[in-house]
Amino acid sequence: MSTVSDKTGVAQINAGRLWGSLMSLAEIGATPKGGVCRLALTDLDGQGRDLFVKWAKEAGCEVRVDEIGNIFARRAGLDNSLPPVMTGSHIDTQPTGGKFDGNFGVLAGLEVVRSLNDQGIQTEAPIEVVVWTNEEGSRFVPVMMGSGVFVSAFPLASTLQQADVDGKTVGDELRRIGYAGTEPAASFPIKAYFEAHIEQGPILEASNTVIGAVTGALGQRWYDVVISGMEAHAGPTPMELRKDALLAAARLIAQVNDIALEHAPHARSTVGWIECYPNSRNVIPGTVKLSVDFRAADDAVLSAMDSALKAAGERLQKEGRVGVDVKQVVYFPPQPFDDGLIDAVRTAGKDLGLSTMDIVSGAGHDAVYLARVAPTAMIFIPCKDGISHNEIEDALPEHIEAGCNVLLRAMLAQAGVP
């Protein structure tokens, strides 16, 4: 009876094929600066999904799509009554996204399947590779939408009604691109969930480390803020009579930044989106809408940041010039991952002779929600200069290969090889 380690000792992925698949997928939504713009549920997202489904079927997988558009590609095991060992990520990107954020995790999972096929390795448990819908939360909130519905973090019905800035809903867009699936968007027993991802920060590269064994992820709170003043003429209106929504927004944005600094070193705050109305040079802005993104390693800190933001809004409003409405649109607490699976990642990295370190994820990932229903861990690899959510996002082929080999070993150890 050979053990899994005998088999996994020889199981290696095909690095050239994985890199080729990444570059082929990156052509869908390619931008002039070498990035990818493939917003959730656009035609380009649909084309990327179609390509993944084609490849998964060519690899012998059975493909299912659920009601929120999550795609499950299943490689049968010897005993299909066993809960699957699952991996996956997302292929929707930021408007100025890169080739690797999310895409690496999905295609690394597909490469695991392809490599098992090449080497004739049958696993006891089935393997599933998942494309989660709208992880980025850029076009539609909430962020990590597909995995969040899958674990019942938010209800399907209201999520399908979520609209983008043009009023198009998630449900309509899923139908339009052909991914309004029929499978119930609800979790089922899962043996283990692994997600491979670029770090999207500078720590691994700075410490010359190839593999990050991710111990958990920061908690997040996202807000929509509306500041209501009064449009007026930029000339005749005296300064002391103005109800300038953009001036108020500028002061609030500075306070959002200060709130994170007051909770250094692990707190983060970002205002990434702003709309100014009527956005005309010689009109005092009457309305400003902006986003706030808070993150922290400790839930109590996240709550303190929440209170500080609301207090800042109230102070601005008390000055009597503008109205300030702060609405929370995302919340999830800091999420630790599974100790046993984190150790499996460390062990796989070390067995492959790869430098490995523990790391906390500053970014949210679908794994954060999967951790609510299954033992979960993530595998990080470095990205160039720690840059992501930017068209220049880049990763080394040898790191892509290393991360996928760690994924293969960690998954095989969980799936069992007779």
Interface segment toward ligand HGY; rule CB under 6 A; list 52-60, 129-137, 267-275, 299-307: 129-137
Angle subtended at Cα 287 by Cα 284 and Cα 291, rounded to the nearest 5 degrees: 130
Residue 244 touches which of ligand HGY, Mn ion, none (Cβ within 5-8 Å per kind): none
Helices (H), 152-298: 156-161, 170-176, 203-206, 245-261
45 sits near ligand HGY (criterion: CB under 6 A): no
Specify the DSSP class assigned to residue 163.
B
Q: Among 29, 364, 382, 416, which residue interacts with ligand HGY (rule: CB under 6 A)?
A: 364
Q: Among 45, 136, 173, 195, which residue interacts with ligand HGY (rule: CB under 6 A)?
A: 136
Could you give the CA distance from residue 182 to residue 65 in angstroms, rounded to a whole number?
7
Tell me whether strands 376-381 and 211-217 are parallel, antiparallel or unpaired: antiparallel
45 sits near Mn ion (criterion: CB under 5 A): no
How near is the Cβ of 247 to Mn ion at its closest, in Å? 32
**CB closer to Mn ion, 4 vs 194:** 194
**Binding to Mn ion (CB under 5 A): which residues in 162-181?**
none
363 sits near ligand HGY (criterion: CB under 6 A): yes
Give residue 154's identity as a one-letter amino acid code.
F
Interface segment toward Mn ion; rule CB under 5 A; list 64-72, 96-104, 157-165, 351-359: 96-104
102 sits near Mn ion (criterion: CB under 5 A): yes
Burial class (CB in 10 A: 0-12, 13-18, 19+), 301: buried
Q: Among 45, 66, 111, 135, which residue interacts with ligand HGY (rule: CB under 6 A)?
A: 135
Taking alpha carbons only, the member of 360, 13, 122 closest to residue 219 is 360
Report which residue's Cβ sits closest to Mn ion: 102
349 sits near ligand HGY (criterion: CB under 6 A): no
**CB closer to ligand HGY, 69 vs 285:** 69
With contact defined as beta carbons under 8 Å apart, do 217 and 360 qualify?
Answer: yes
Residues paired with 194 in a beta bridge: 87, 377
Could you give the CA distance from residue 290 to residue 245 in angstroms, rounded to a whole number?
11
With contact defined as beta carbons under 8 Å apart, do 225 and 346 qualify?
Answer: no
Specify the DSSP class assigned to residue 66.
B
How near is the Cβ of 266 to ligand HGY at its closest, in Å? 14
Could you give the CA distance from residue 372 to residue 148 in angstroms, rounded to a whole number?
10
| Backbone torsions φ then ψ of 166, nearest 5 degrees | -95, 5
How near is the Cβ of 135 to ligand HGY at its closest, in Å? 6
# binding residues, Mn ion (CB under 5 A)? 2
101 sits near Mn ion (criterion: CB under 5 A): yes
How near is the Cβ of 409 to Mn ion at its closest, in Å? 22
**CB closer to Mn ion, 101 vs 199:** 101
# binding residues, ligand HGY (CB under 6 A)? 6
**Binding to ligand HGY (CB under 6 A): which residues in 142-161?**
143
**CB closer to ligand HGY, 56 vs 143:** 143
111 sits near ligand HGY (criterion: CB under 6 A): no
In the structure encoding, which two tokens stand for residue 287, read together?
């309305």
Interface segment toward ligand HGY; rule CB under 6 A; list 117-125, 130-138, 304-312, 371-379: 130-138
With contact defined as beta carbons under 8 Å apart, do 164 and 47 qualify?
Answer: no
Taking alpha carbons only, the member of 355, 296, 375 closest to residue 331 is 296
Residue 102 touches which of ligand HGY, Mn ion, none (Cβ within 5-8 Å per kind): Mn ion
In the structure encoding, which two tokens stand for residue 116, read together?
């098992």
How near is the Cβ of 98 to Mn ion at its closest, in Å? 9
195 sits near Mn ion (criterion: CB under 5 A): no
Report, in this order, helix, strand and coil percent for the chain, each rounded to 5: 35, 25, 40
Helices (H), 282-418: 299-318, 339-351, 366-370, 397-415
Contacts to ligand HGY by CB under 6 A: 135-137, 143, 363-364
